[in-house]
Amino acid sequence: MTTVLLIHGAWHDGGCFAALARALAAHGHRALCPDLPGAPGTGLQDCADALPSAPVVLGHSMGGMVAEALALARPPRLLIHLCSYLPLPGDSLAALDRLLPRPPRRWPRDASGSLILPFEAARAMMYPDLPETVVAPALARLRPQPVGPLRDPLPGPSRAAVRRHYLLCNGDRAIPPALQRAMIARAPVEHLHETPWGHSPFLSDPQDLAALLDRILRAEGLAAAP
């Protein structure tokens, strides 16, 4: 059994990975799906410090920033980025968003200053390929997002010395494929896997995502052969 830490993105919680966790369990892997701290004033390092260690870490979207921060202090044997932000030391998520020219995104804030993602924006960016039966509960799980993890730069003079796989999603409307490629070009990874998925394959296609992750773990010697 291989333990995989799944780190969710902005506005989400660990429950978004429930279907993927079940699918990974069917392949003999244990998934940890903790919630990142969401209190006002939470920063990138607070998120990393709140997570357990695991031999395999997967970061989705903003979770890629957190995964890289975690790896600096407690490097896993394998780091997997799922259509995520891929920083170098000194990069913030906000800075990476500006690698390619596009109109800035401005979201409303609640009384504490945390960002609120309107349901229609979430549906268009993150869930356009999901049936309504899946979209509705996904939207209901969204929560305010503290700005710290979006603005804080990744610390350290150098990247964590870990092996990295990147799952590029060509149907992504939240982090465009061109931006994913731009990040990979400046922060290379050992293996790139191109997929047709949108931004949330853990909801749209958890079985095939789990199968791909299982193949990666086996190729890396992190899962016993059947």
Place of tokens 């958890």: 206
Residue 101's pLDDT is 87
Query: Across the beta sheet with 163-169, what order do the strands follow?
Result: 30-32, 3-7, 56-60, 78-82, 163-169, 191-195
Give φ, ψ of 165 to 5 degrees: -115, 140
3-state secondary structure 170-221: CCCCCCCHHHHHHHHHHCCCCEEEEECCCCCHHHHCHHHHHHHHHHHHHHCC
> What is the block-wise mean pLDDT of the chain (226 residues), using blocks of 10 residues?
97 98 97 97 98 98 98 97 98 96 90 97 96 96 98 96 98 97 98 98 98 97 71
Lookup: tokens for 126? 């993150």
Give the pLDDT score at 224.
59
CA atoms within 13 A on the CB side of 89: 9
Rounded Cα distance between 56 and 195, Å, is 20
User: How far is 86 from 192, CA to CA, in rounded Å?
Assistant: 13
CATH number, span 3-99+108-219 = 3.40.50.1820
Domains in the chain: boundaries = 3-99+108-219
Residue 11, exposed/middle/buried by CB under 10 A (0-12, 13-18, 19+)? Answer: buried
Rg (CA), the chain: 16
